[in-house]
Structure formats: structure tokens, C-alpha cells
Chains A and B, each alone.
Chain A
Amino acid sequence: DQQVKQNSPSLSVQEGRISILNCDYTNSMFDYFLWYKKYPAEGPTFLISISSIKDKNEDGRFTVFLNKSAKHLSLHIVPSQPGDSAVYFCAAYDYNFNKFYFGSGTKLNVKP
């Protein structure tokens, strides 16, 4: 049973607009939530994270929002650029088990 779910396999956005990628989780004990970006033929690279005690973390064009009551997090990319086209994985970290749980990924296509 997947503890981290990304229900949208793909998303298409126009360059310059906002991209919103969503992720849901089931375990309220997760300590951190992370987003990874993956280009074809490369490994995932760490993008941004948020502690479970916060509700927002911002890094340049990337902002992650955490809604603990809904067990939902989202990644906002503003403005979106063609170079952002990639697969984005959501992940959650359980400190007690030192383990990361990954979602199935969302493929983002930013059209010029």
C-alpha cells in the first residue's frame, strides 16, 4: 500500500504560467517531505524539502506547501520554464526508520 501518492501522471503548462504538482500521504508521523526532479537518462536530483512543523518553504521559483490536516503537499513553480520539463517525485521521510517513501511521479511538460 503506497504511503505517498501522486495522482496525476502528467501535467502540461504554458511557459510563464504556474505549475502546481500535488502529492498526498497517509502517515501523519512523517518528519520531512521532499521533491525530486528527474530528467531522462539521469538520476533524480533533490529540489526542495519542508519540515513537518512548517507549512511553507520557498526557494526561488519553487515553493512547497504542506497541509497537515489534509495530508497533502504541493509544489508550485512560478514562472514555469521549458527547462522545468521533467518528472517530479514527491517523497516523505520517516526519521524512526530512516526511510524515504516515494510517489509514482508526475511528468511536467512546459510548452514554449
Chain B
Amino acid sequence: EAQVTQNPRYLITVTGKKLTVTCSQNMNHEYMSWYRQDPGLGLRQIYYSMNVEVTDKGDVPEGYKVSRKEKRNFPLILESPSPNQTSLYFCASSRTGTGGGGYTFGSGTRLTVV
């Protein structure tokens, strides 16, 4: 089954404790991206990657890091989480340049930073 898999689904952590949210896709997509969803703000892009070893900032990159060492994996790293990073996070992938087909999204990771 074609899918994007995120882990964990739920995470509660404390301020300053480094964490990683994993994302993996099995569709051989070149393009991968991370979004956060907040009430009234919709989906905002954090980082994206157009292919292996190519990453770039989205609209809200502060406090986040990513890496793309393999085509299928695109982990999101929070080096020192803060309460304002409490949010619902989605990883997504697509073939590059296929805007009409849209993204395939993961099921989401609900992060709470206390």
C-alpha cells in the first residue's frame, strides 16, 4: 500500500529535550515536506526537500532541522523544543512537478511540549 508513515503518533516532552519525528514513504517520491497545523492558521510548511541531500526552508523553519540522506526518509528534528512548538505535524510527499495530483500525507504527529 502506498503510504507515508510518521512516528510517533503522539508525543509529550519537556522543554529543551531533543526529539526526532520520523517520516518514511514507499512511493519513490522525490519531494517531501513537513507541515504544522495550528487552529485558524491551516497548514504551514516547515521544511521541504526536492531530492536526496537537497533541503530548504519553508514558511516557519525556526526551531526545526531536517535531513534527507535517503530518498524514502525525511526526519524532523527539534533540537531544543519549546511550548510554542506544540502542534499537529504532518509529513507529506509527492512526485516533483505534479501539482495537480497533490500530496500524500502521513497520519500526523501530535506533539505537546510542556
Chain A interface (Cβ < 8 Å from any Cβ of B): 2, 4, 6, 9, 31-32, 34, 36, 41-46, 49, 51, 89, 91, 93-95, 98-100, 102-105
Contacts and interface: CB of A to CB of B under 8 A. Distances in A.
Interface of B: 4, 31, 35, 40-45, 48, 50, 90, 92, 96-97, 99-108
A9 B42 CA distance: 11
A51 B106 contact: no
A32 B100 contact: yes
A99 B35 CA distance: 12
A46 B45 contact: no
A93 B99 contact: yes
B102 A36 contact: yes
A49 B100 contact: yes
Contacts of A49: 99-102
8 contacts: A32-B100, A43-B90, A43-B105, A46-B101, A51-B100, A89-B42, A102-B35, A104-B40
B103 A42 contact: no
